A and B are shown apart, each in its own frame.
Chain A
């Protein structure tokens, strides 16, 4: 596409366009983002509070947490899926929430850009790392494991 030099629009209005926050209806991104925060929030109530209940309230609570505890949980596909969903939804919800906060407080385009670049980089690293950990976990790293797969 050939570019025609834009009239001197302020840098601010350009950044608003880039962030999909214009009112002239070019995208519905902010609407979907608003809806996503609410839907993911509902799912996270179950996922996060369930996670806290099982890990901190049942059994020995925090004193029982160790490699064997994790191995026991991830031997069950339900907990693998649970943790995977929780990881993805919490990271998307949290990252999107921080994007809003950056838009609210960072005034300069440059500051916004770099803060968002940092945010997205951190989010991608954490989501990829966490996903790999859930799927490549090897319970038999523990030589004293009593799980049947390790015998």
Chain B
């Protein structure tokens, strides 16, 4: 065992950066989920307490962070499906490259309408 985990800093092609991105988005989503359950729990305190905290989600800066969160979730979700297909679908490994492109296409197709709608709400257009 090397004293530093040398194998974890991948340098290379798609499979490697997508693995790093899957990991980073997974941790980010998990941390957000912890906070999000806590803020939702305020519905047990009072309507005022809940509304005040949920109000911060409507602030423009937080609104931009939400765009980042959704970008991360969409990537993690469809990259996750790609991983599942590579593992379970007999032809998955042969279509690695196409699957990777598919993740990118679905990501753009879902992300663009979301950004437009969400920023319209946040910036009150």
Contact = CB atoms under 8 A, between A and B. Distances in A.
A15 B115 CA distance: 46
B92 interface: no
Given A45-B77, A65-B54, A107-B3, A136 B121 contact: no
Given A62-B58, A62-B63, A57 B40 contact: no
A98 B27 contact: yes
A101 B24 CA distance: 10
A126 B81 contact: no
Interface in B57-113: 57-58, 63, 66, 70, 73, 77, 80-81, 83-84, 87-88, 113
A1 to B, nearest CB: 31
Given A62-B122, A133-B41, A90 B33 contact: yes
B5 interface: yes
A91 B114 contact: no
Interface of B: 1, 3, 5, 8, 23, 26-27, 29-30, 33-34, 37-38, 40-41, 43-44, 46-47, 50-51, 54, 57-58, 63, 66, 70, 73, 77, 80-81, 83-84, 87-88, 113-114, 117-118, 121-122, 124
Interface in A16-71: 38, 41-42, 44-45, 48-49, 52, 56-57, 60-63, 65-68, 70-71
Contacts of B113: 57
B84 A126 contact: no
Nearest to A123: B34
A129 B34 CA distance: 11
B26 A94 contact: yes
B27 A101 contact: yes
A105 interface: yes
11 contacts: A56-B66, A56-B70, A57-B118, A61-B118, A63-B58, A63-B124, A67-B43, A70-B43, A129-B37, A138-B44, A141-B47
Contact of B114 (A56, A63, A94): A56
A63 B121 contact: yes
Most buried by B among A107, A132, A136, A138: A107
A41 B80 contact: yes
Contact of A94 (B5, B29, B77): B29
A122 B117 CA distance: 34
Nearest to B47: A67
